Amino acid sequence: MPQTGNRLLADVSLPAAVIHEPALAHNLTWMQRFADAHGARLAPHGKTTMAPALFQRQLDAGAWGITLATAPQCRAAFAHGVMRLLMANQLVGEANMAIIADLVEAGADIYCVVDSAENVGQLGRYFAARGLRLKVLIELGVEGGRCGCRDQDEVMALGELVDSEQSLVLAGLEGYEGVVYGDDPVQAVRAYAWHLVEAAQALDHDGLIESPAPLITASGSAWYDLIAKVLQEARLGAHFVPVLRPGCYVVHDHGIYREAQRDVLGRRPELDRGLKPALEVFAQVVSLPEPGLAIVGLGKRDIAHDQLPEPLRRYREGGEAERVLPVDGWRVTRLMDQHAFVALPRDEELVAFNGRVRVGDIIAFGASHPCLTFDKWRRLCRVNEALAVEEVIATCF
């Protein structure tokens, strides 16, 4: 993404991933305020962006820590100053254990997840040999879901096993509601959240939790309102720390999370405005080979394609941010590695109104979802309302 100046529409090599500062700032404040209002801590899932500059913005806004998915991700975050890390996955393999052990030795406050006796034994032996203690969370899953103990009996048995390992500290309970399905998903997610509460209370009642401030943590980016509400209603006591872990909120999207946010606001109309899409990919028309078709220099290597990208706005190359040409009737029909097929309206009046498209025109695209757009970029442009680049944000994938 070489550039010779700071004008996105003139100086930046396209395609480029773009984060809009006004929406970013809004989202950071909005989600932190939401967590605070529900008596919860916020540990945003860093795998969404793997961008240390955004981690710092989240921490500066009040985040309790950063969630990561893998040991190398934890190492990257710690190297950039994140001291409290929640690895919301099982720590398996001695090479990965070595990474986490090194972080513990270096002063990281880190939590990992367990769901099997075998893994508890592996961790116990490894960290005992290193002379370290590792804080672990037992994961509660669901039948047919991803990882995690399938019921409370398994949770309790694993809690007793963790308690028997001198090198492990049981620090609470972890779950993920994004794999919960049912005819009534709202009720299914609420029921799962209550199962988390009951299991945490049982572990606490039996004295199996060693940490003085145990965690109860769940919440992705779609059902965070339901999880937060149940944890608030449960009144677990001052010594339990509820932790929410949404990640995609920081830039939101124009697809599955836009729809999920509409559902959140439908359930909770008192919430103010909601999140705003902050991430777009800007690309140029490279060919107009036949009537009704534009080929844009944007492909699967540049943008997520859970759903096909959505054309949002059009600009003339070298133009000003306020001179926006609409893209009414434009539709991406096919995405290749580095090309998008865009169907254009054939109606002459509509084409005339929009301004006839030219090779070199710049299109802003929205995507679904952000995790699979960020990981395609090593640098992203953070821009202001005038589309001037204020910061080049690096990622650590």
Architecture of domain 83-246 in this structure: Alpha-Beta Barrel (3.20)
Q: Which segments of the chain belong to CATH 3.20.20.10? A: 83-246
What is the per-residue pLDDT across 340-349, written as a single tens digit (0 to 9) for each? 999 999 765 5
Question: What band does 354 get if pLDDT is binned at 50, 70 and 90?
Answer: low
Position 239 pLDDT exceeds 90:
no
pLDDT of residue 236: 86
What is the per-residue pLDDT across 146-182, written as a single tens digit (0 to 9) for each? 999 999 999 999 999 999 999 999 999 999 999 998 8
The Cα 54–Cα 35 span in angstroms is: 18
CA torsion, ordered 219, 223, 225, 229, to nearest 10 deg: -70
What is the per-residue pLDDT across 20-37, written as a single tens digit (0 to 9) for each? 999 999 999 999 999 999
Nearest Cα residue to 300 out of 340, 257, 350, 263: 340
Structure-model confidence comparison of residues 321 and 352, the more confident one = 321
Q: Which segments of the chain belong to CATH 2.40.37.20? A: 8-15+275-394
| Distant-in-sequence, close-in-space partners of 98: CB < 8 Å, separation ≥ 6 | none
DSSP H stretches of helix in the chain: 8-11, 21-37, 52-60, 71-79, 94-105, 117-129, 152-164, 185-205, 224-234, 256-267, 348-354, 371-374
Q: Token pair of 336, please?
A: 């290749």
Cβ atoms 49, 17 nearer than 8 A: no
Position 3 pLDDT exceeds 80:
no
What is the per-residue pLDDT across 186-218, written as a single tens digit (0 to 9) for each? 999 999 999 999 999 999 999 999 999 999 999
pLDDT of residue 4: 58
Nearest Cα residue to 47 out of 256, 248, 261: 248
Position 366 pLDDT exceeds 70:
yes
DSSP state of 368: S
> Which class does domain 8-15+275-394 fall in?
mainly beta
Share of the chain above pLDDT 70, in %: 97
pLDDT of residue 348: 56
The Cα 227–Cα 39 span in angstroms is: 12
Nearest Cα residue to 134 out of 158, 95, 162, 154: 162
Mean of the per-residue pLDDT values of the chain: 95
Position 351 pLDDT exceeds 60:
no
For residues 242-263, one letter each, b for 16 or more C-beta atoms within 10 angstroms of the residue's C-beta and e for the rest, the string is bbbbbbbbbbbbbbbbbebbee
pLDDT of residue 130: 98
Average pLDDT of 307-323? 97
What is the per-residue pLDDT across 21-77, written as a single tens digit (0 to 9) for each? 999 999 999 999 999 999 999 999 999 999 999 999 999 999 999 999 999 999 999
Average pLDDT of 311-324? 97
